[in-house]
Homo-oligomer: A and B are copies of this chain.
Amino acid sequence: MLFDTVCIAGVGLIGGSFGLALRERRLARRVIGLTRREETARAAQQVGAVDFATTNPVEAARGADLILLAPPVGQITPLCEHLAPIVSAGAIVTDAGSTKAGIVRDCGAVFGANAMFVGGHPMAGSERTGVENAHGNLFEKAVWILTPTADTPETAVNRMVELIEALGAVPLLLDAALHDSLLAVTSHLPHVTAAALVHLFMAAQNQTEFAQHLIATGWRDSTRVAGGSPEMWRDICLANAPAIAHNVEDMIAQLEEFRDMLRDTDGERLYRWFDEARAVRTKHGYFPRS
């Protein structure tokens, strides 16, 4: 057992899977869920993600030696402020937010020297949200980023690394700002372009009923992430606005470059542009779709 009592604040897909993994692997004596709604508390207990769930923060967080904050990104800092007076001295508090710089700055300041805050981001998930889709092996082989600062006690980082490895995930220590700028490239911008592609499709649909019959596998893959939660993506965009805006500009520049190649009927340059992308794409991750 790595922890005695773990509190999971926000028991959705990530929080629920974390609870299931802790319990299946016997990494904590007791797992307590903190939810906003009674209904979620009941569901969390039913699927076995927690030993006990409640909507009462005092009941949930008091005495915990590890607290995972896994609500939607926009609620992590308010939740921190809410829990700060309750959290035991020496407890480790971590989060599962998809953006890090703002959260690390704000939550670090909230806890000060009382609890030990370590920013985190398990790179796992699915569009199937909610505790009912949680499963205990969600984090297996997933990269789990930690973003400690110069003020983060080493002992908190070490215990988090130990926990992440015990969950079968791969810990990666990263500067919070670097995390945010890279995630803008590998996750946030692809969501924006997916939603933009769907908006262009909507415009075509408004012009002709045939549009929907011409949807191909490529479109489905390219736009799949646009099916995600609009609340989550609004919050991520607001939390990481500067890095995302920067990437949107870079994307526009890429598209303008492409438009120039088209205008110049520059087959050689078009070939090279597609070929460079193909070479890098086929190196990274599964391809073709399995």
Contacts and interface: CB of A to CB of B under 8 A. Distances in A.
Interface of A: 123, 125-128, 143, 145, 172, 174, 178-179, 181-183, 185-187, 189-205, 208, 210-231, 233-234, 237-238, 241, 244-245, 247-252, 254-256, 258-259, 262-263, 265, 267, 270-278, 280-282, 284-289
Number of this chain's copies in the complex: 2
Given A143-B213, A251-B200, A223 B123 contact: no
Contacts of A212: 284
> Nearest 7 CB-CB pairs, A to B?
A230-B274, A190-B222, A195-B277, A230-B275, A198-B277, A196-B254, A127-B288
Contact of A259 (B190, B215, B245): B245
A203 to B, nearest CB: 7
Contacts of A197: 189-190, 193, 251
B282 A227 contact: yes
A246 to B, nearest CB: 10
Contacts of A241: 262, 265
A212 B174 CA distance: 13
Main secondary structure of the interface of A (DSSP, over half): helix
Contact of A196 (B226, B255, B285): B255
Contacts of A227: 278, 281-282, 287-288
Contacts of A238: 262, 265, 267, 270
Contacts of A263: 245
